[in-house]
Structure 1
Amino acid sequence: MQISRPDRRWRGQLQTRLLAIRPDSVCALDAAAHQVVRDVLPDIPVYASDSPHDQPCALALGIDVLNGLDAQQAQHLISRVRLYVAPRLLIATQSDCALDDATFRALGFSLEMAEPAEGKRLYYYDLDTYKIVPDWLNARFWAHPERWEP
């Protein structure tokens, strides 16, 4: 089966992103994600989302995982994966996904790639970088008891 040119671009971007992240372990949220990880990172341990493992994986990858879910189910799945499976998520969506760009941004995701011809979007979430630490949240603005006057 020949892959169309836009699909090659989309899959190529996904492969490039996986190689850039270079996780220690991956939780494949669906069969397509499992196959992509096996092809791109053959030496990395890959776990299925329903298989028990001792500790969270470094990355959770989903390609078809949100297909057919409504908005509430999709948000619940994403929340569960972020809490219990992996601190970083890479999720591919179709154009008919129940969650739109604004919802993904509200959930802390950034849009990595959009392929309008294929109707594909690639979103990434990283617990360590999803929110910029505000300037006021540092020791310089903490309470100073020596400055307090009764």
Structure 2
Amino acid sequence: MSTTPTHALLGILDQYQPKRLLCISRGSVPAVTAYVTKHPDCELITTSEAPLPDDLANQRYDLAIVADQLEQLSKREGTELLAGLRNLSVSRMAVLVELAEAPQWETSDFYGLAMQREAHFERDERCLTLFTYDLAEYKTVPDWLNSKYWANPENFDKYWW
């Protein structure tokens, strides 16, 4: 398990190796800076604006990182930002939030957006939580969805009605 948010984000970046990276933050994110320095072929798009400007909102990214944003936004604005990214712009996302500074947010709100709690970091007075979303891991294939449970297993994946 990662000991710091920077290590956790670097692990996510190294795992997915994004070519187009969107970073939405009010300040610089050390993990993003380190990753882009190490991978100069990665196109980094940064903004502190939420909602996203139209020119950024209408593009696809390999990964989005949201940090130090949700604490400043209303719950509605934050939900629209995360859901919009998830639905239209990215297949993978990492969100770093200080829940104590964002009392309008609860852990269950992130679960409702199909996110998973990846890690929790405590240092001095700060408690950061890392949530992730990956479309490929969002839903596992149900056990019953195979030919064994069909009335005519020999026709499974053969005909389209």
TM-score by length of 1: 0.76
Q: Quote the sequence identity (%).
A: 22
TM-score by length of 2: 0.72
Question: For 1:141 and 1:32, how far apart are their aligned partners in 2?
Answer: 53
Q: Which residue of 2 aligns with 1:76?
A: 80
Structure 1 segment 1-150 matched on structure 2, within 5 A:
9-32=4-27, 36-42=31-37, 43=40, 44-48=42-46, 50=53, 51-52=55-56, 55-95=59-99, 96-97=101-102, 98-117=104-123, 118-142=126-150, 144=152
Q: Which consecutive unaligned segments of at least 5 residues does structure 2 have? A: 47-51, 155-161
Question: For 2:112 and 2:147, how far apart are their aligned partners in 1?
Answer: 28
Question: For 1:15 and 1:58, how far apart are their aligned partners in 2?
Answer: 15
| 1:122 to partner: Cα distance | 0.7
Question: For 1:54 and 1:79, how far apart are their aligned partners in 2?
Answer: 14
Q: Which consecutive unaligned segments of at least 5 residues does structure 1 have? A: 1-7
Q: 1:25 to 1:33 in 2, by over 3 A?
A: farther
SS of residue in 1 equivalent to 2:118: strand
In terms of fraction of residues, the more strand-rich structure is 2
CA root-mean-square deviation: 2.7
Please identify runs of 4+ aligned residues in structure 1 that moved more than 6 A: none
Alignment: residue pair count: 139
Q: 1:141 to 1:90 in 2, by over 3 A?
A: same
Question: For 1:13 and 1:35, how far apart are their aligned partners in 2?
Answer: 11
| 1:38 to partner: Cα distance | 3.0
